[in-house]
């Protein structure tokens, strides 16, 4: 079963002036998130990531299309008992202590006092806030607020967790902590759907990713498939004992040549060109030091997709 | 009901920790206590001044809280985006709105009870007459406060805090002038003015119906039938406003 199924979801906003056309937030977006996977939702600013997440948790209503969460339509209030949500740059009731704050969200999810006590202790420990249990949130740092926000999303042990930009504004340690939390959730069989700008984090932990641009889903799939499929892997060749610039057989195929003393780095845009270059190195009595195939990165794919769309707009 | 209660108790806790509320309460208590000094400065009707000013202090404090705290009930939640995490829980928008309203009403109730206690104590110390009419007047003040809070809540579901405050204040003033509006509608020459004033008379709440401070300060008790009718009117109007607020809030995107 899919944890999230979105079919041709559209959202447009009235511009405020009747003669102006409505602004498009989402345009027939379709995607699915499988149970138990970590799905990264990528896209530039204003692409429609937050709009999608808000529709899924009932903060916004779609103009058209349909979406299901855990097999139930998104309008079903009761399904939210099984969902945890952390918005982007969250703001919470700062007059509450961490303990009161988690108790409040737990009670909203229907939890009783008996189960709340141990759960609050467990979660505060998991996010490293045990010492701040009785401190008011107004005295929390940004990183602490993000961690207590994650704890509120998990207080009722949801099956599906939705995070909107959970790593934004955090230092490397904070980002690693969030990554660890997400990975632990997958180990427990939970589904995590999160949006992010921080591509290396997405690449590191996601099973699948979707790239949304201008309200449309352009690419979706496993990270390794996406970065390798349809993309030319480059190859780096390091050799020594020859001056590569003097060998036309190499200069005409290399995308970049870096000569450092006796050693030379030759960057080839395609693996097919490798044999030709190796023959040329042997022919000129050079020594091969290493051959390293370079895998494509999600960042390259992301930038390529956004560039294509940018050009299409022009 | 459970979730309305959770929201209400949290709202109540929020206001208990809000210094502004204590300032208003302190101001009202000062006004009640100050009435004794003012009464001593006058030549006649000492008791009436203490009785009158005390009721006015309870009324003013209640209305100030109802308007200036009520307008932030929902708009503050939206502006600060605290509503995001709450609406993502298994709670309907109606439950959220009613919970917020109930939380403020609970706060107002506690405030009115404290002020009433201090007021009665002041009257007792000053040896002024304590009678049933005063309690009836305070009960109708509370109904008025309930209604004004609902007005503020309704406006805050679709407009900013500043605009909501202005509109609520405007409706409060008009609410006390509806009888004059009716007179204007009956005696007016211009048809447009007549229609507008008649429309306002029927649309706006008649808050003067809930104002029995004058007779109560004079020592008169209010007929129970009138008190019941006025309370029912205030509560029905409040229910109508809350329903409208829920309908508008249901359609909002955050």
Considering only CB atoms, A104 lies closest to which of B6, B87, B92, namely B6
CB contact under 8 A, B254 and A59: yes
The average pLDDT across A193-199 equals 86
A143 vs A237: CA distance, rounded Å: 43
> Does the CB of A90 have a partner CB in chain B at under 8 Å?
yes
Q: Are A187 and A18 in contact (CB under 8 A)?
A: no
pLDDT reported for residue B186: 74
Q: What chain A residue is nearest to B252 in terms of C-alpha separation?
A: A60
In a mutational test of the A interface, the residue from B4, B16, B85 whose CB has the highest number of chain A CBs within 10 Å is B85
Considering only CB atoms, B85 lies closest to which of A61, A78, A90, namely A90
Q: Helix B191-203 to helix B178-187 angle, to the nearest 10 degrees?
A: 150
Q: What chain B residue is nearest to A152 in terms of C-alpha separation?
A: B85
In chain A, which residue ranges form alpha helices assigned H by DSSP? 49-56, 98-108, 113-126, 142-154, 172-187, 199-205, 223-228, 248-251, 274-283, 298-313
pLDDT reported for residue B86: 92
pLDDT band (50, 70, 90) for residue A202: confident
Looking at chain A, the whole-number percentage of residues with pLDDT higher than 90 is: 39
CB contact under 8 A, A152 and B85: yes
pLDDT band (50, 70, 90) for residue B51: confident
A156 vs A161: CA distance, rounded Å: 11
Reported as a single tens digit per residue, the pLDDT across A13-47 is 887 777 888 888 888 899 999 999 999 998 888 88
Interface of A with B in 246-305 (CB under 8 A): none
pLDDT band (50, 70, 90) for residue A309: low
Q: B23 Cβ partners below 8 Å, 6+ apart?
A: none
pLDDT reported for residue B10: 92
Pick the range with the lowest mean pLDDT from A12-21, B115-124, B140-149: A12-21
pLDDT reported for residue A296: 67
Reported as a single tens digit per residue, the pLDDT across A55-66 is 999 999 999 999
The average pLDDT across B24-51 equals 78
pLDDT reported for residue A313: 46
- Torsion of the alpha carbons at B210, B212, B214 and B219, rounded to the nearest 10: -170
Which of B217, B220, B243, B251 lies closest to B49 in space, CA to CA?
B217
Residues of A with CB below 8 A from B88's CB? 57-59, 80, 83, 85, 87, 162
Pick the range with the lowest mean pLDDT from A110-119, B20-29, B129-138, B168-177: B20-29
- Predicted interface score ipTM higher than 0.85: no
Considering only CB atoms, A83 lies closest to which of B6, B7, B88, namely B88
> Does the CB of A148 have a partner CB in chain B at under 8 Å?
no
Residues of A with CB below 8 A from B20's CB? none
Give the range with max mean pLDDT: A64-73, A209-218, A290-299, B22-31: A64-73
Reported as a single tens digit per residue, the pLDDT across A225-268 is 777 665 557 888 999 988 888 888 888 889 888 988 888 999 98
The tokens for A280 are 């040329």
The average pLDDT across A170-196 equals 89
pLDDT band (50, 70, 90) for residue A314: very low
Considering only CB atoms, A80 lies closest to which of B7, B84, B90, namely B90
The average pLDDT across B130-146 equals 93
pLDDT reported for residue A230: 53
Residues of A with CB below 8 A from B72's CB? none
Residues of A with CB below 8 A from B6's CB? 104, 107-108
Considering only CB atoms, B254 lies closest to which of A54, A105, A108, namely A54
Residue A310: pLDDT above 70?
A: no
Reported as a single tens digit per residue, the pLDDT across A109-163 is 888 888 998 999 999 988 888 888 999 999 998 888 888 999 999 999 999 999 9
Residues of B with CB below 8 A from A50's CB? none
Looking at chain A, the whole-number percentage of residues with pLDDT higher than 70 is: 94
Looking at chain B, the whole-number percentage of residues with pLDDT higher than 70 is: 99
Pick the range with the lowest mean pLDDT from A82-86, B75-79, B152-156, B231-235: B75-79
In a 13 Å sphere around the CA of A265, the CA atoms on its Cβ side amount to: 9
Considering only CB atoms, A91 lies closest to which of B3, B80, B92, namely B80
CB contact under 8 A, B13 and A152: no
CB contact under 8 A, B81 and A104: no
**Integer angstrom CA distances of residue A294 from A232, A260, A291:** 9, 20, 10
The tokens for A205 are 């932990």
Pick the range with the lowest mean pLDDT from A31-35, A219-223, B67-71: A219-223
The secondary structure of residue A97, as a DSSP letter, is: B
**Integer angstrom CA distances of residue A23 from A15, A215, A216, B215:** 6, 11, 14, 59
CB under 8 A, 24+ apart: contacts of A120-129: A120/A155, A123/A151, A123/A154, A123/A155, A124/A98, A124/A99, A124/A151, A126/A151, A126/A181, A126/A184, A127/A151, A127/A177, A127/A181, A128/A177, A129/A98
**What's chain B's average pLDDT?**
88
> Does the CB of A85 have a partner CB in chain B at under 8 Å?
yes
Establish, for the pair of chains A and B, how many residue pairs have beta carbons separated by less than 8 Å. Answer: 75
pLDDT band (50, 70, 90) for residue A214: confident
B88: distance to nearest CA of chain A, Å? 5
**What's chain A's average pLDDT?**
86
Give the range with max mean pLDDT: A199-203, B43-47, B136-140, B190-194: B136-140
pLDDT reported for residue A270: 82
> Does the CB of A112 have a partner CB in chain B at under 8 Å?
no
Looking at chain B, the whole-number percentage of residues with pLDDT higher than 90 is: 43
């Amino acid at each position: 079963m899919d944890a999230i199924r979105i079919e041709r979801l559209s959202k447009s906003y009235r511009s405020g002036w009747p003669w102006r056309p409505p602004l498009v937030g989402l345009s027939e977006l379709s995607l699915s998130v499988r149970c138990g996977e970590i799905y990264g939702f990528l896209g530039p600013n204003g692409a429609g990531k937050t709009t999608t997440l808000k529709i899924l948790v009932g903060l916004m209503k779609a103009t058209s299309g349909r979406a299901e969460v855990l097999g139930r339509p998104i309008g079903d209030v009761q399904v939210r008992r099984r969902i945890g949500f952390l918005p982007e740059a969250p703001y919470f009731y700062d007059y509450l202590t961490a303990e009161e704050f988690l108790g409040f969200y737990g009670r909203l999810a229907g939890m009783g006092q008996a189960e709340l006590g141990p759960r609050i202790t467990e979660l505060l420990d998991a996010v490293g806030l045990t010492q701040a249990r009785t401190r008011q949130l107004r005295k929390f740092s940004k990183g602490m607020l993000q961690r207590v926000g994650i704890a509120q999303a998990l207080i009722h042990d949801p099956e599906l967790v939705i995070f909107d930009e959970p790593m934004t504004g955090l230092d490397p340690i904070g980002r690693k902590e969030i990554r660890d939390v997400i990975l632990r959730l997958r180990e427990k069989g939970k589904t995590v759907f999160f949006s992010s700008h921080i591509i290396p984090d997405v690449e590191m932990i996601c099973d699948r990713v979707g790239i949304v641009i201008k309200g449309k889903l352009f690419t979706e799939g496993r990270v390794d498939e996406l970065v390798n499929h349809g993309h030319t892997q480059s190859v780096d060749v390091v050799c020594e004992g020859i001056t590569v610039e003097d060998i036309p057989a190499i200069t005409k195929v290399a995308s970049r040549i870096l000569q450092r003393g006796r050693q030379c780095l030759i960057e080839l845009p395609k693996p097919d060109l490798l044999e030709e270059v190796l023959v040329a190195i042997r022919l000129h009595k050079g020594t091969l030091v290493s051959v390293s195939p370079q895998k494509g990165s999600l960042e390259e794919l992301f930038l390529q997709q956004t560039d294509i769309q940018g050009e299409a707009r022009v | 009901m459970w979730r309305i209660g959770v929201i209400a108790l949290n709202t109540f806790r929020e206001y208990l920790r809000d210094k502004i509320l204590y300032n208003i309460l302190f101001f009202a208590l000062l006004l009640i206590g100050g009435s004794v000094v003012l009464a001593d400065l006058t030549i006649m009707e000492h008791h009436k001044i203490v009785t009158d000013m005390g009721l006015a202090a309870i009324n003013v404090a209640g209305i100030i809280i109802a308007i200036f705290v009520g307008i932030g009930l929902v708009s503050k939640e939206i502006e600060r985006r605290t509503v995001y995490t709450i609406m993502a829980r298994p709670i309907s928008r109606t439950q959220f709105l009613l919970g917020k309203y109930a939380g403020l009403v609970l706060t107002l109730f506690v405030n009115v009870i404290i002020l009433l206690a201090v007021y009665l104590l002041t009257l007792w110390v000053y040896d002024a007459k304590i009678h049933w009419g005063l309690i009836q007047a305070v009960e109708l003040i509370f109904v008025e406060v309930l209604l004004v809070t609902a007005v503020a809540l309704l406006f805050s579901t679709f407009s900013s805090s500043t605009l909501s405050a202005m509109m609520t204040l405007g409706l409060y003033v008009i609410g006390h002038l509806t009888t004059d509006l009716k007179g204007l509608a009956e005696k007016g020459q211009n048809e447009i003015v007549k229609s507008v004033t008649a429309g306002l008379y029927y649309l706006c709440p008649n808050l003067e119906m809930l104002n029995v401070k004058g007779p109560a300060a004079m020592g008169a008790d209010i007929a129970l039938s009138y008190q019941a009718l006025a309370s029912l009117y205030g509560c029905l109007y409040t229910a109508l406003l809350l329903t409208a607020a829920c309908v508008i809030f249901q359609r909002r995107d955050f």
